[in-house]
Chain A
Amino acid sequence: MKILVCISKAPDTTSKIAFTQDNSRFDENGVQYIVNPYDEWYALVRALEIKESSGAEVTIITVGTTSDEAIMRKALAIGADEAVRIDSEPNDAYFVATAIADYAKDKSFDLVLTGKETINFNGSQLGGMIAEALNAPYISIASKLDVSGNTLTLEREIAGGVEVVEVSLPSVVSCAKGMAEQRIPNMRGIMAARTKPLQVLAPNKTDQLTHYVAFASPSAKSGVKLIDPNNMDELVSLLHNEAKVI
């Protein structure tokens, strides 16, 4: 079985989110990058569990620049077999999805996994786009994934509940909490990662369908109004008369 896991880099969850002076770009000053948590904790670790239980070859793919190789090495240290980097700025979801689908289309992957979303752009776009480009079924926001022969059984989020579904390989799945647990790479993994293959490919010429014009930070709260813990009637009255939320 061949599994492709899409990995993206994201700023560490404690990073200060600021933008350059003209608000055109994310300010990377002092920012530490990590593997996007959904990609690492759920998609990659579940792929590795499948590899351990029934045998699989796990390839990771990232559309990014040389600066993404640190997080790719981390994914290799956790246990992926090989890595592919499509050498380009990942500016637009369609562009990234097309690059990944172009790479995947003649390599007969049985399963393509993505995270539920990136924590920096929160688009939840890529999985569906790759599935359409590969003409494959797409199971989004899955919290459980089991493989038996040629069949996947999954649980996924639907309106106010969870649906248990079955689908044949090949398929595309976006992975969310519940699927697997975080793993910390060990020394042997880190050493082995240094020599695992990391292939760099040029992207095909593809259009971009969207672009960011600017960024903005939310306006600061005007300050908290403190209420006497013995006067909850006042809190209720403020929520009704002042805030108008109840």
Chain B
Amino acid sequence: MKNIVYIQANGTLPKAAFEVVSYAHQLGGTVTVLATGSLNSDALSVLGSYGANEVIVNRAITGNDDQTIAAWLAQHIAGAHNLVFSHDFNGKAIAPRLSVKLKAGFISGAVALPEADGSIKVNVFSGKAFGYVKSNTAQRIISLLPNSVAPSMTGNACTVQEVNESMGDSRIKVLSVKKPEGTIPLPEAELVVSAGRGLKGPENWGMIEDLANALGAATACSRPVADIGWRPHHEHVGQTGVAIRPNLYIAVGISGAIQHLAGVNGSKVIVVINPDSEAPFFKAADYGVVGDAFEVVPKLVEAVKKFRANS
């Protein structure tokens, strides 16, 4: 069986790149990574230890344009059974294009390896349920939800080949890029500290940031908090915001409305801090602290600092 993985390789490789390569390796057979971007060959050869047999990196494509990337990938997928993407902004644009171009079934948002019957488990209803989807075509395209399958090291060596295959100019012109400084992108974060209306005002977020810094976590918030402008929109998690699946989600002053839960209940462990023991969030939590955030959070920050200092 032949598997192909697409990754974008600029700067450092994201964890999602290791996840998709590991996933393709576990599908069985060979793994070819098709990459675009400027990352050097040495750094790309690391993908061998996650199961890649070869990496082909196209230096002629530098941006995010789904149309030129899809056109390039289509030239290299003859005989491939599976094409694996991360279900991130890139995969969500390129994979559907390829599905139409190749007339190959697209299984979007996979969270596990295929079942015995060939179907693949995907997230549906914003994480409130799962579906099992099967491709009707032999060649299939899979996009993998970040943080669903742990990357594993198998220790292969792999070759890296650099090519320059221009697919023409992108029809999309990039004018500028805004990057929030120093923050961990939410969908990739393994630890997330999130707060809601229970915090009473934006001036009280200092302790949430302290907790996030002590843990090395990203920060998130409930929708009303982003809507009133206490926090930036990109922190809004839930059914109509970002959906996340971190290892740890700490919710402070959030009631746990169904639309909020929908975006976070894929988290492996949930901690809830709320003075109202009847708050619905406690039903979805693994650990609960019934208490006032203004008393509990500073204590938790101290406890985390102490733990980090001793380990």
Interface residues, chain A, with chain B CB atoms under 8 Å away:
11, 13-14, 17, 19, 37-38, 93-94, 97-98, 119-129, 131-133, 137-141, 143, 153, 156-168, 177-178, 207-218, 221, 224-227, 229-230, 232-233, 235-240, 243, 245-246
Q: How far is the CB of B262 from the nearest CB of chain A, in Å?
A: 8
The B287-301 residues at the A interface (CB cut-off 8 A) are: 287-292, 295-296, 299-300
Evaluate whether A162 and B177 lie within 8 angstroms (CB atoms) in the complex, with A141-B92, A177-B233, A209-B105 already known.
yes
A218 touches B108 (CB 8 A): no
* A213 and B117 form a contact (CB under 8 A): yes
- B95, B96, B129, B259: the one contacting A217 at CB < 8 Å is B129
Q: Can you name the residue of chain B whose Cβ is closest to the Cβ of A94?
A: B99
Q: How many whole Å from B212's CB to the nearest CB in chain A? A: 12
Contact with A along B112-131 (1 / 0, CB 8 A): 00000101010111111111
Q: Is the CB of A213 within 8 A of B134?
A: yes
State A4–B140 Cα separation when bound (angstroms).
30
* B98: A residues at CB distance < 8 A: 132
B62 CB contacts on chain A under 8 angstroms: none
Give the number of chain B interface residues (Cβ < 8 Å).
Answer: 98
Q: Does B88 contact A (CB under 8 A)?
A: yes
B148 CB, min distance to chain A CBs, angstroms: 13
Most buried by B among A121, A128, A138, A235: A128
Question: Other than the known A163-B178, A164-B174, what 20 A-B pairs have Cβ atoms closer than 8 Å?
Answer: A94-B100, A119-B262, A122-B109, A125-B108, A127-B93, A128-B95, A137-B171, A138-B93, A141-B92, A160-B179, A209-B103, A212-B131, A212-B132, A217-B129, A218-B265, A221-B285, A224-B286, A232-B299, A232-B302, A236-B300
Which residues of the other chain, B, contact A229 by a CB distance below 8 angstroms?
Answer: 289-292, 295-296, 299
Taking a contact as CB atoms under 8 Å apart, the answer to whether A137 and B258 are in contact is: no
Q: Are B101 and A132 within 8 A (Cβ)?
A: yes
Report A-chain residues with C-beta under 8 Å of the C-beta of B174. Answer: 163-165
Cβ–Cβ contact A128 & B285, under 8 A: no
Number of residue pairs across A and B with beta carbons under 8 Å?
Answer: 272
B185 within 8 A of A: yes
Majority SS of interface residues in chain A? Answer: mixed
A57 to B291, CA, bound (A): 54
Contacts of A245 in B (CB 8 A): 190-191, 247-248, 268-269
* CB pair A207 B136 closer than 8 Å: yes
A144 to B304, CA, bound (A): 39
Contacts of B150-188 to chain A: CB distance below 8 A: 171-180, 183, 185, 188
Chain A residue with Cβ nearest B143:
A124
B226 to chain A, nearest CB (A): 8
Among B27-35, B38-46, B197-205, B236-244, the one that faces the other chain is: B236-244
Given contacts A211-B134, A211-B136, contact A140 B93 (CB under 8 A): yes
Residues in B with CB closer than 8 Å to A221 are: 283-286
A163 and B45 CA atoms in complex are apart in Å by 29
In the complex, B76 has a CB within 8 A of chain A? no
B106 A125 Cβ-Cβ under 8 A: yes
B57 within 8 A of A: no
Given known pairs A13-B239, A120-B125, A224-B287, the reply for A94 and B131 (CB within 8 Å) is no
Known contacts: A211-B136, A232-B299. The answer to whether A225 contacts B177 by CB under 8 A is no
Residues of B within 8 Å of A233, CB to CB, are: 303, 306-307
Least Cβ distance of A134 to chain B in Å?
10
In the bound complex, do residue A129 and residue B96 qualify as a contact, i.e. CB atoms below 8 Å apart?
A: yes
B70 at the interface (CB under 8 A from A): yes
> Which residue from chain A places its CB closest to the CB of B272 in the assembled complex?
A224
Q: Which of B35-71 contact A (CB under 8 A)?
A: 64, 66-67, 70
